[in-house]
């Protein structure tokens, strides 16, 4: 069942467990951000680390989960504060699409309005 893999990936993100995230990404992993920009597994090894440095308290809260044979969808919210500063805290609804291949994450796509997130970095 894909749900176990997806929830383990979310937990690894919430724990900022970079070694586990790398292990869970398939060799053909693809990350797609809210603007449609694509990153490979190699790029995301650095991408996750940088993101966690910017947002050390980044957290995904899952409200709903749906899956079919081809993909999984998480509906919830994301929250964090830029460089851990509470004055730069943000929180907004978000959705994630995941494709699982042989118990690894092949695709992780984020859907959200990132204006608050980007504004927190100013």
CATH of the domain at 21: 3.10.450.50
15-25: average pLDDT: 98
At 41-91, the pLDDT tens digits run: 999 999 999 999 999 999 999 999 999 988 999 999 999 999 989 898 989
Question: Percent of the chain scored above 70 by pLDDT?
Answer: 93
| pLDDT score for 84 | 87
Give 109's pLDDT tier (boundaries 50, 70, 90): very high
With 0-12 / 13-18 / 19 or more C-beta atoms within 10 angstroms meaning exposed / middle / buried, residue 67 is: middle
Is this structure's pTM higher than 0.75? yes
Tell whether the model's pLDDT for residue 33 goes beyond 70: yes
The DSSP element (H or E) to which 74 belongs, if any, is strand 72-81
| pLDDT score for 1 | 76
Per the structure, the count of domains in the chain is: 1
| pLDDT score for 118 | 61
| pLDDT score for 112 | 85
Range of the domain at 60: 2-120
User: Which of 77, 79, 93, 64 minimizes the C-alpha distance to 3?
Assistant: 64
The DSSP element (H or E) to which 119 belongs, if any, is helix 115-120
| pLDDT score for 72 | 97
């Amino acid at each position: 069942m894909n749900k176990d893999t997806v929830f383990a990936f979310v937990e690894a993100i919430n724990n900022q467990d970079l070694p586990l995230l790398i292990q869970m990404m398939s060799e053909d992993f693809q990350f797609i951000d809210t603007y449609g920009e694509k990153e490979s597994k190699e790029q995301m090894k650095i991408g996750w680390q940088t993101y966690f440095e910017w947002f050390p308290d980044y957290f995904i809260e899952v409200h709903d989960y749906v899956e079919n044979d081809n993909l999984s969808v998480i509906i919830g919210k994301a929250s964090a504060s830029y460089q851990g500063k509470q004055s730069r805290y943000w929180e907004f609804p978000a959705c994630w699409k995941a494709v699982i291949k042989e118990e690894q994450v092949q695709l992780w796509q984020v859907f959200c309005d990132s204006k608050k997130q980007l504004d927190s970095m100013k």
